[in-house]
Amino acid sequence: MYKIVLIRHGESTWNLENRFTGWTDVDLTPTGVSQAMSAGKLLKAEGWDFDLCYTSVLKRAIHTLWYTLDEMDRTWLPVVKDYRLNERHYGSLQGLNKADMAKQFGDEQVLIWRRSYDTPPPALEATDPRCERSDRRYANVDTQSVPLTECLKDTVARVLPAWNDSIAPSIKAGKRVLIAAHGNSIRALIKYLDGISDSDIVSLNIPNGIPLVYELDENLKPIRHYYLGDAEAAAAAAAAVASQGKA
Ligand SMILES: O=C(O)[C@@H](CO)OP(=O)(O)O
């Protein structure tokens, strides 16, 4: 049996301000830093250790990994930064307030933008200053692969190659893997691993900064999963994420 740990980044400045974030590279808040440190303390206290870490190229996930590893005295571990683990691209909603959008367009429309499997939010124009295509961190990525918007289906399509080409082979080679990523890139991976239907994935929400353990069989099929620490607190934090898109 293999075990991996997934962790969504701690609270970011735009989580706090309730803004659609996507590929915008925002910082952790002090709360986010302490969530990441608590995650590291919990992992250490429960005897977890890792050989290889994966994260995105966005600093809220990278810094979460740093603070978590620092608490474990494991900042020396190898880290693979892969843009394919980035948050789902939120198109032209990036930067806008979720509750304001719900007031303007209704809770149902915002739920579709946030959680529908195959309806993407309105796209960014390639000329929009928010477009990431000229960002140097994506210089080696094919332009068409730097999205202008994404639905979860699109995110699954980019996360899965990272899983299949890189993460899964590492796990099978016996590496103990920690993945620090984002709400929707983690939802994309879980949808695939657990075979969750397009309609059921709508209600899955991932809380900030709480380690989520997946136990996998020899074919990397999930046996069970659970949050470390207080399960009720994790469920309450996930429910709070769900209601962020309400007016
Ligand atoms: O704004 C975002 O990028 C994500 C995660 O913070 O939000 P949501 O939970 O609405 O998909």
Range of the domain at 76: 2-245
CA of 174 to the centre of ligand 1 (A): 32
9 is catalytic: yes
Q: Which residues does a 6 A CB cutoff place in the pocket of ligand 1?
A: 15, 20-22, 87, 90, 114, 183-184, 241, 244-245
Q: How many domains are there within the chain?
A: 1
Instruction: Give the pLDDT confidence score for residue 70 in this predicted structure.
Output: 98
pLDDT, average across residues 210-225? 98
Q: What is the pLDDT of residue 124?
A: 97
Closest protein CA for atom 11 of ligand 1: 114
Check whether 163 has a pLDDT greater than 90: yes
87 is catalytic: yes
Cα 170 vs. chain centroid, distance in angstroms? 20
Atom of ligand 1 nearest to the CA of 244: 10
Question: Helices 59-71 and 30-45 sit at what angle, rounded to 10 degrees?
Answer: 40
Task: Determine which one of 63, 71, 87, 182 is catalytic.
Answer: 87
pLDDT score recorded for residue 83? 98
Percent of the chain topping pLDDT 90: 98
- Nearest Cα to 98, choosing from 89, 88, 110? 110
Per the prediction, the chain carries an average pLDDT of 97
Give the mean pLDDT of 202-212.
97
Query: How many Å lie between the centroid of ligand 1 and the Cα of residue 1?
Result: 32
**Residue 170 pLDDT > 90:** yes
**ipTM value greater than 0.90:** yes
pLDDT over 90 at 178, yes or no: yes
* Residue whose CB lies within 8 A of the most ligand 1 atoms, among 56, 94, 184, 190, for a mutation test: 184
**Rounded-to-integer distance, Cα 197 and Cα 184, Å:** 15
Q: Answer yes or no: is pLDDT of 247 > 90.
A: no
Instruction: Note the pLDDT tens digit of each residue in 180-195.
Output: 999 999 999 999 999 9
Residue 60 annotated as binding? yes
3-state secondary structure the chain: CEEEEEEECCCEHHHHCCECCCCCCCCECHHHHHHHHHHHHHHHHCCCCCCEEEECCCHHHHHHHHHHHHHCCCCCCCEEECHHHCCCCCHHHCCCEHHHHHHHHCHHHHHHHHHCCCCCCCCCCCCCCCCHHHCHHHCCCCHHHCCCCCCHHHHHHHHHHHHHHHHHHHHHCCCCEEEEECHHHHHHHHHHHHCCCCCHHHHCCCCCCCCEEEEECCCCCEEEEEECCCHHHHHHHHHHHHHHHCC
**pLDDT tens per residue across span 10-56:** 999 999 999 999 999 999 999 999 999 999 999 999 999 999 999 99
- Percent of the chain having pLDDT more than 70? 100
Q: What is the position in ligand 1's atom list of the atom closest to the CA of 182? A: 5
Considering only CA atoms, which residue is closest to atom 10 of ligand 1? 114
Instruction: Tell me the pairing of strands 52-55 and 79-81.
Output: parallel
Task: Kindly report the CATH number assigned to the domain that includes residue 152.
Answer: 3.40.50.1240
**Residue 230 in tokens:** 């207080």
